Homo-oligomer: A and B are copies of this chain.
């Protein structure tokens, strides 16, 4: 195995391993994910995996967490509508990645791997702000621009729910027009805001 190692920085090696575990998952599935195969695909030795992670699932969770995007509201908190649109666009761009496909694969197999599905919520989604639009909404509430009482578990889920539903129904990722309609027609009314476009 040592012969397949190339001179890479630590960061490059970790990036290669993260990419390898996601490709492996999407090709062979959760049941056949091994340290051996991840190492092979990343062109490294099993020992360099075990130095950082103890199981293939740990490698996977780390990769999912690293690739999951985090929304960044405008620091001046003066453009709620655009920040919400940008948050959902970020979600849609992520949904087109192999990482998102890996997340769907795992959540679909939740019956067989309940701890791993649970870990995705706690170590990936919650670690990056919980739900798309929710970091934006809470930032505006903290800045006094929005009544925090509006931010219930239902309301912070409206954007993600509609993006997922539209994708599921059409088999295609929602357009920018659909994203804008979701913000204007569903999210803003639910937080007591009129559309200001």
State the number of copies, please: 2
In the complex, 9 of the A-B residue pairs with CB atoms within 8 angstroms, ordered by the A residue number, are A107-B168, A154-B162, A157-B162, A157-B165, A157-B166, A158-B158, A161-B161, A164-B168, A186-B186
Q: What is the size, in residues, of chain A's interface with B at 8 Å between Cβ atoms?
A: 28
Cα separation A22 to B169 with both chains bound (whole Å): 21
**Of the candidates B152, B164, B165, B171, which one forms a contact with A185 in the assembled complex, judged by CB atoms under 8 Å apart?**
B152
List residues of chain A with CB under 8 Å of any chain B CB.
107, 110, 117, 121, 150, 152-155, 157-158, 160-162, 164-166, 168-169, 171, 178, 181-182, 185-186, 189-190, 192
Main secondary structure of the interface of A (DSSP, over half): helix
A161-B161, A161-B162 as given contacts; A185 in contact with B154, CB under 8 Å: yes
Q: Which residues of B contact A166 (CB under 8 A)?
A: 157, 161
B165 to A186, Cβ gap below 8 A? no
A158 to B152, Cβ gap below 8 A? no
B165 to A181, Cβ gap below 8 A? no
